[in-house]
Chains A and B, each alone.
Chain A
Amino acid sequence: MENKLTLSLPISVVSPTDVARLVREVDNLDEFFRQSEIRYGGTLQSPPRYSRLLDELVVTNKMNLLQKDDRVGLLTMLHELAKSAPILHISFSVDPPGPYVQKIVGWLRQNIHESILVRVGLQPNIGAGCVVRTSNKSFDFSLRRFFDSKHDFFMEKLHEVVSPEFDEQPAVKEEVAIVADEQPVGVALA
């Protein structure tokens, strides 16, 4: 728990998948150094490549991966993070770009939890906004939910349109419908 608190995650580390990839990279790096210790000197070896995520994580936490203690500490903290970090599932109507998700993750780590991880999902039918799901609850911030909250307003408008007075005057009804079609979406919803 103490290790978890000392590890500061950069906003580029978003999801549990990223953490798992970091664990795998650190593990490979540690394995490389372990093999280097038992090899004879002068043997050619190709070190594993750093990913940008690992580089940012090391820089953020001021670690030196050449040091075994740092590698072991980082590996332990990442394992602990993978097991205990809170995970949010956020669904969007379209696949969001990376910086967009990083902004949301940055806000979450500043306001909710410093090591929170986010899984990104896709729900095209929500229209706009997002749906946030925690382990126990679901928070619908979508346009569909917004329209659902405006149910009474829509029903009132619908009953105005299909009321008997309008049935007796189809020409006026048609005119109103045409004008409504020409209005901007924001004005119509207001």
Chain B
Amino acid sequence: MTLSVLLILLGSIVVVAGVVLWLLLRSPKSAKSAKSNPINDLSKQAEVDVEHIFNDDFREELRNRGRLHFEKIIGENAMFLQQDLRLTTSQLNDFMKNEVTRVLKEEFAKYEESINDAKQLAIDSIQKTQDTIEQQRELLSAQLTEQMTAEKSRTMARFEGRMADVVNHYVLEAVGDQIDLSEQLDFILSQLEMNKEAIMRDIKDGA
């Protein structure tokens, strides 16, 4: 019983709701269709009159005006373009100058650095050469001193070894013509007397 009541109530609610929705959806469409008629008329009238307003003269006038306006705009743009071009050229010149100057400075810096490196290299090489020459000079000086000392010692030894010949030569040069042979007889006989036994022994043994 209860269930059937509920189903009846639910059915009635659905019917009421459907009616309300139909009414709501039908009312605006009917209003719009009622107002569209005057606008359509005006549009059709405007399409008819436009052929009277935009005739050939008016079109030519508009074309001339457009041409002039286009030429004006073109001229203004050309002037602006020229100015921009000049400015760009000036900036480009400045840029090129700066770039060239910068590149040249860098190249000159590198060149100067290379020159300095080469100069330092040459200085080092010269310094090494000077050091080597100095070492060679000291070595040669030492060798020369050593050889001179050795030669001096050798000469002195030879001089001392031949001292008797030197003195003998000097005496002969000085008083050689004054030495009388007869005055030497006693000396010779005395020397023979001193070596008498040796001479006799040698004669006896060697005979």
Contacts and interface: CB of A to CB of B under 8 A. Distances in A.
Chain A, interface size category, equals: 35 or more
A144 B181 contact: no
A125 B170 CA distance: 11
A58 interface: no
Chain B, interface size category, equals: 20 to 34
Contacts of A97: 181
Contacts, number: 101
Interface stretch (A26-34, A46-54, A107-115): A107-115
A111 B188 contact: no
A107 B184 contact: no
A137 interface: yes
B201 to A, nearest CB: 9
Given A92-B181, A100-B185, A104-B188, A139 B164 contact: no
Contact of A112 (B160, B167, B182, B196): B196
Given A104-B188, A129-B191, A136-B205, A148 B164 contact: yes
23 contacts: A92-B181, A93-B181, A100-B185, A107-B192, A113-B203, A127-B176, A129-B187, A129-B188, A129-B191, A132-B192, A134-B203, A135-B203, A136-B205, A137-B199, A139-B191, A141-B191, A143-B168, A143-B171, A144-B168, A145-B164, A147-B164, A147-B167, A158-B163
